[in-house]
Amino acid sequence: MDTNPSQLPNKIDLAIIGAGPHALTLVTHLLQKRQTMRGRFVVFDPSGKWMSQWQQQFAALEILHLRSPAVHHPDPNPFALRKFAESRPHELFPPYDLPGTQLFEDLCQDVIYRWDLQNQVVKAEVTRIQPLHPRFRLWLDDGSSIIARRVVVATGGGKLQIPDWVNQIATKYPQDRLCHSHKVDLRKLQLAGENILIVGGGLTSGHLAIGALARGAKVHLILRRQLQEKLFDAEPGWLGPKYLKGFFAESDYQKRWQMIQAARNGGSMTPAIAMQLRRAVRTGNLRIDEHCQISEAQWFENHWLVSCHDGSEYKCSRIWLSTGSKFDVTDESLLTEIADTYPIAIANGLPILDTYLRWPGCELFIMGALAALQVGPTARNLSGARMASEKIVPAIVKSSIAHNLRIPTRY
CATH number of the domain where residue 102 is located:
3.50.50.60
Consecutive H or E run containing 13: strand 11-17
CB contact set of 379 (below 8 Å; sequence gap of 6+) = 368, 369, 370, 371, 372, 387, 388
Tens-place pLDDT, residues 236-292:
899 888 999 999 999 999 999 999 999 998 889 999 999 999 999 999 999 999 999
204 part of a folded domain: yes
How confident is the model at residue 408, as a pLDDT?
40
Confidence bin at 75 (pLDDT 50/70/90): very high
253 part of a folded domain: no
Residues 104 and 201 grouped into a single domain: no
Residues 93 and 209 grouped into a single domain: no
Residues 25 and 155 grouped into a single domain: yes
Picking from 305, 324, 343, the residue at the C-terminal end of a domain is 324
Least confident of 126-130, 379-383, 395-399: 395-399
408 part of a folded domain: no
242 part of a folded domain: no
Residues 359 and 381 grouped into a single domain: yes
Cα–Cα distances in angstroms (integers) from residue 210 to residues 152, 201, 214, 278, in the given order: 37, 13, 6, 11
Tell me how crowded residue 78 is: count the other CB atoms within 10 A of its CB. 12
184 part of a folded domain: yes
Residues 167 and 210 grouped into a single domain: yes
* Residue 129 burial by Cβ neighbours in a 10 Å radius (0-12, 13-18, 19+): buried
Confidence bin at 2 (pLDDT 50/70/90): low
Consecutive H or E run containing 178: strand 178-180
In total, how many domains does the chain have? 2
Residues 137 and 174 grouped into a single domain: no
Residues 187 and 209 grouped into a single domain: yes
381 part of a folded domain: yes
Residues 303 and 206 grouped into a single domain: yes
Tens-place pLDDT, residues 45-64:
999 999 999 999 999 999 99
Residues 9 and 85 grouped into a single domain: yes
Residues 81 and 166 grouped into a single domain: no
- Give first-to-last CA distance, the chain, whole Å: 44
Quote the domain boundaries for residue 293. 161-230+268-324
Confidence bin at 11 (pLDDT 50/70/90): very high
pTM: 0.95
CB contact set of 144 (below 8 Å; sequence gap of 6+) = 5, 6, 8
410 part of a folded domain: no
How far apart CA 405 and CA 400 sit, in angstroms, is: 12
Residues 314 and 277 grouped into a single domain: yes
User: Which of 107 and 401 is assigned the larger pLDDT?
Assistant: 107
**What torsion do the CA atoms of 343, 348, 349, 353 make, to the nearest 10 degrees?**
-50
Round the average pLDDT of the chain to a whole number and report it.
94
363 part of a folded domain: yes
Residues 285 and 219 grouped into a single domain: yes
Tens-place pLDDT, residues 76-85:
999 999 999 9
Picking from 306, 324, 342, the residue at the C-terminal end of a domain is 324
